[in-house]
Amino acid sequence: MLQCGEISHIKTLCQQLKAKNDVKMIERTCKASEDDKDKRIEELTQMIYWLSRIAYQKDFSTNVCR
C-alpha cells in the first residue's frame, strides 16, 4: 500500500482508507464497551438475585435471643 507522499499516492483514496480504518477502530471500541456493559449487567443481576435470597431467608428465619 502506498504511503502519504509516495509517488502515485492518491490523496482522496488515502483519506477514504483512513476514514474506513477509523470507523473499524470505533466499531471495535464500541463492541468492547458493549461487551463490558453486558458483563456488568450480568454481574449486577447475579448480585440482585443473591441479595434477594438473603433477604428472603432473613424474613423467614427466626431471630430468637437465647
Q: pLDDT by residue (tens digit) across 23-54? A: 888 888 888 788 888 888 899 999 988 888 88
**Alpha helix segments (H runs only) across 1-66:** 11-60
Is residue 4 within 8 A of residue 14, CB to CB? The reply is: yes
pTM for this prediction = 0.48
* pLDDT for res 15: 72
Is residue 9 within 8 A of residue 3, CB to CB? The reply is: yes
* pLDDT for res 26: 81
**For cell 463492541, what's the residue?**
31
Nearest to 1 by CA among 19, 14, 12: 14
The span from the CA of 3 to the CA of 37, in Å, is 38
